Amino acid sequence: MRERLFGFPNPVNETSARLVAAGVVLQGVAYLVFQQWWLLVPLAYGFLARVLSGPRFSPLGQFVTRVVTPKLRVQHTFVAGPPKRFAQGVGLVFSGGALAAVAFGAGTVALVLIAGLVVAATLESVFAFCLGCTMFSLLMRVGVVPESVCLECSDISRRLAAATS
């Protein structure tokens, strides 16, 4: 029960991931423009919810996966879940760090963190380039993340075969 409640989807619908990233861009830009601390709360909560359970407890994730993605008439691709979960964790560090920075009076630090988050989320939403996933891959290559965490990620021959078919 606990694993189902707090499990992360694997595989992940890439279309949904990109749409969630677009929502993160909008939330991040709203903070950069208005600089209201409370705008960071739903942003950080969304990342926490998605790290713990994928879209299950994330209002943005629910809206994207239940309303928007099903209405799109596109060819959906699916990608490995563990790198996407890692990327959500990186987003949590940035958004949570920004919230903490504001709480301690370091508004400029919060702006820099959210600007970085907006850049990363824009890369994901517009170009399907997941910066957190790239970091995850690098950590696997150097042995920090064991291959057993994501067998699909470590099997380059399977990824190459899928890309050419």
Sign of CA dihedral 39, 43, 48, 52: positive
Closest alpha carbon to 136 in 146, 122, 121: 146
Q: What is the pLDDT of residues 26-54, one digit of tens each?
A: 999 999 999 999 999 999 999 999 999 99
Q: What is the pLDDT of residues 69-106, one digit of tens each?
A: 999 999 999 999 999 999 999 999 999 999 999 999 99
What's the confidence (pLDDT) of residue 161? 56
- How large is the average pLDDT for residues 118-142? 96
What's the confidence (pLDDT) of residue 162? 59
Cis upstream peptide for 55 (omega within 30°): no
Confidence at 6, pLDDT banded by 50, 70, 90: confident
**DSSP single-letter state for residue 78:** E
What is the chain's Cα-based Rg? Answer: 16
